[in-house]
Structure 1
Amino acid sequence: MSTGHRNPRIDLIRGISILLVLLHHFNIAYRLNDTPLAQLISWDAVRAVVRNGNYGVTMFFVISGYLITSNANRRWPDFARMDLRGFYVLRIARIVPCLLLLLGVADILALSGIAIFQNHAPQGTLVSLWVVNLASLTFWMNVLIGLYGWVNYPLGVLWSLSVEEVFYLTFPLLCVLLRRPSRLIAFWAVIIVVGPLYRAAHQGDEGDFLYSYFACFDGIAIGCCTALLAGKRPMPLLASWPVQILTLILMAFLYLSYPISETNILGVTVMALGTALLLIGAHHGHGEVSQGRAGAGLRWFGRHSYELYLLHLLFLGAMRSILVPHAVGGAEKLLLLSAFLLLSAAFSHVIARFYAEPLNFFLRRLLWRPARAGESSVPTEEPASCWWARGPH
């Protein structure tokens, strides 16, 4: 969405989600158990914050389903007449530039001989770089991880993008096939029920109960249903501050109390439903969010969450190659954490402003064609912050 169309509350939720993911990955690399912070408030308290980054991804899935559905419904109120080509152009323009950048940099670093960026064989089978790149580009990195483990450090984040890309591939087809919002809601309701059942049936395999398609699709489906239901009728009770605050408290309790390995069966569903309630609050209370400094940092992280998510392991991998984790002391880890967050944020901002957004804008201009007479030849959600764009979009 352009700056003028952004919902600051959704950016805030995304900012929290990406920060949880970044903290989780940093703790995996540099365990924070011996830091002054852990000594001050206890390691158990710190670990409770940093161990469940996968719930941050669950929140991303819900937001993705919500935004894709609400934006599509605004552009094509009649789902049966959705412009398939137009939908795919929008997704390609947003996703592919950063994805190709990640693959290119990771491959160059791997071929340069830097060990952490090369493929590994955690389960005894070495997978070629060609296969990893193919899985990244054809939506089955999560399947590859389930089969062979975390074979490539910086490209491991693409497991969740593979889940979302399959959703992007099927979403417009479902809309055209099912035609009516009520049928779509019924279909997604089945997916919502299947999610916890699938996770319960695959508890012995982390690759299945956390990373496979049906272990994650229920979060996306909850987001899709939320968009249609929130757009259909006002929900003042669910959007009220008491309900919103209670939702945050319950989500925080679930997040902090148990590791996701113990709670994923229904925990993922509960966290997704909580995110949906927050999105209903964002939908009906867009103007109530303060534009002050209190949440500005988190909103900034939310606006750059895609670039941050895709590229942050490049920085963390470089840090691990230069500063071996077991040789870094506790106080130094906190300094490294600050440097990691700042460098990742700065790099993501540069990539978004001078690479991803300009290419997003350019590809939409180049590939978009009006599906019907009178339809604008340019999508409305263009990146308004493109540094080279001139005039109204």
Structure 2
Amino acid sequence: MLTHDRYLALTRLPALDGLRALAALAVVFFHHGGPVFDRLQGWIGVQLFFTLSGFLITTLLLREERDTGRISLRGFYLRRTFRIMPVYFLLLGLTTLFVTLGGRFTSSRLAEALPLYLVFCNELVDYNTPFGISWTLGVEEKFYLVWPVLFLLTAAVGVKATGCRLLLVPAAIAGLLLAAEWSPLTVHYASILVGCLLALVLHHPTGFAILRPLTHPAAIALVVAGFLVLQFNIGPLRTLLGGGWTLVVPLYAVAVALLLTAVIAPGPVQRALSCKPMAFVGKRSYSLYLSQSMAASVMSPLVPEPSTIKALGASLIALGIACLLYRWVETPAIRYGRRLADGGTTDRFLPMKQPGHS
């Protein structure tokens, strides 16, 4: 089993690349694969991205605080800006250009939504547009804006910071779930905070000891099997819980948190998730996710209706676009952001993504 000291010494969690790859492809097949993939419930893959983002960002903040005794908001925001915005605005610009050239700028409602897309209020666009998949970025950007500030404020209480955070996050999750009755969007923030809570628990020796049994090989197999059962039964679970998503989404986020705990430990599952093909797709999952609608539009003249062929084609085209963006936009921008951050903690710890990525 993984020890706490070994966990704290990890500079990379390679299995997370594989999880990102699977989540991104599940979303593509949900949108473009047709009814044959309904049981996969790929739409909920964005919740895996949300939980993963909360876990990664909080872990980075905790490691920075441990290693330097402080948190640099300037460094954090610079790294996030150059991680997220170059690809985002490039794809938004290309989408706008292609839609305009096709004479659909107004009829597609992209013109109506564009002001919200420009200020990362994507989740407030409650109608379909050619860039509708970006709604997850609106949710995550607000988390990136607020969470580091709250994290820094709790650091002011000194030795009691950990206890304060461990009380704050569950209280916030409960509040968000209650608020979901009036504003369904808040449930997505609950998923992110589940990831934050996992990072806080694993960082603390006592919390890690509680979850450590999940890193035993036998437990890992059970957790993975249980997660797969849940993944393929989200629909029936929703019906059992009254037909809404307010309870299903946070339950799924908790399952993702348990899965993350299990797959960080060395073993066959970690090796499978971190193999070269999975890592290759996972590292490009942010651009793949954002370019899937563009890729699907290329396939539409050949395969108008959702189908396995259309989903496969869209995935391959989106991956091709993602490879170009990863090589010529993402990687240079990330490096430049790190240099501007001027010595702060870097994204070299853990592969960062995004849906939606973080």
> What TM-score, normalized to structure 1?
0.75
Contact 1:361–1:382 under 8 Å retained in 2: no
User: Aligned partners of 1:197, 1:55: CA distance in 2, in Å?
Assistant: 20
Q: Tell me the CA shift for residue 22 of structure 1.
A: 1.0
User: Aligned partners of 2:107, 2:223: CA distance in 1, in Å?
Assistant: 41
Q: Does 1:298 align with 2:278?
A: yes
Residue of structure 2 equivalent to 1:323: 302
Residue of structure 2 equivalent to 1:339: 313
Amino acid at match of 1:188: V
* Structure 2 alignment gaps of length 5 or more: 1-9, 156-160, 352-358
Q: How do 1:159-170 and structure 2 match up within 5 A?
A: 159-170=135-146
User: Aligned partners of 1:363, 1:83: CA distance in 2, in Å?
Assistant: 14
Superposed CA offset, 1:104-144 (max 9, x none): 101111210254xx3547xxxxx562x52331232311112
* Structure 1 residue matching 2:346: 3-state secondary structure: coil
Amino acid at match of 1:314: M
Amino acid at match of 1:355: V
Residue of structure 1 equivalent to 2:22: 16
Residue of structure 2 equivalent to 1:388: none
C-alpha spacing 1:384/1:197, structure 2 compared with 1 (3 Å): closer
Superposed CA offset, 1:140-181 (max 9, x none): 111122xxx22x12x111211111000000011101212212
Q: Does 1:70 align with 2:78?
A: no
Q: Does 1:380 align with 2:356?
A: no
Contact 1:80–1:178 under 8 Å retained in 2: no
User: Aligned partners of 1:271, 1:292: CA distance in 2, in Å?
Assistant: 22
Amino acid at match of 2:177: P
* Structure 2 residue matching 1:264: 3-state secondary structure: coil
Q: Tell me the CA shift for residue 195 of structure 1.
A: 3.8
Amino acid at match of 2:291: L
Residue of structure 2 equivalent to 1:177: 153
User: Aligned partners of 2:174, 2:284: CA distance in 1, in Å?
Assistant: 32
Contact 2:32–2:310 under 8 Å retained in 1: no
User: Aligned partners of 1:356, 1:236: CA distance in 2, in Å?
Assistant: 35
Greater Rg over alpha carbons, structure: 1
Q: Tell me the CA shift for residue 56 of structure 1.
A: 0.4
C-alpha spacing 1:7/1:346, structure 2 compared with 1 (3 Å): same
Aligned length: 328
| Higher relative contact order (CA closer than 8 Å, sequence separation 6+) | 2
| Matching residue within 324, 341, 359 for 2:333 | 359
Residue of structure 1 equivalent to 2:7: none
Q: Tell me the CA shift for residue 11 of structure 1.
A: 1.4
The 4+ residue runs of structure 1 with deviation greater than 6 A are none
Superposed CA offset, 1:161-214 (max 9, x none): 111000000011101212212222222112222343334x25xxxxx53xx1x1
Aligned-pair identity (%): 26
C-alpha spacing 1:314/1:269, structure 2 compared with 1 (3 Å): same
User: Aligned partners of 2:84, 2:332: CA distance in 1, in Å?
Assistant: 13
Superposed CA offset, 1:17-44 (max 9, x none): 11211111113xxx3x5xxxxxxxxx5x
* Structure 1 alignment gaps of length 5 or more: 34-42, 122-126, 203-207, 370-376, 386-393
C-alpha spacing 1:241/1:114, structure 2 compared with 1 (3 Å): farther
CA RMSD of aligned residues (A): 2.9
User: Aligned partners of 1:57, 1:228: CA distance in 2, in Å?
Assistant: 22
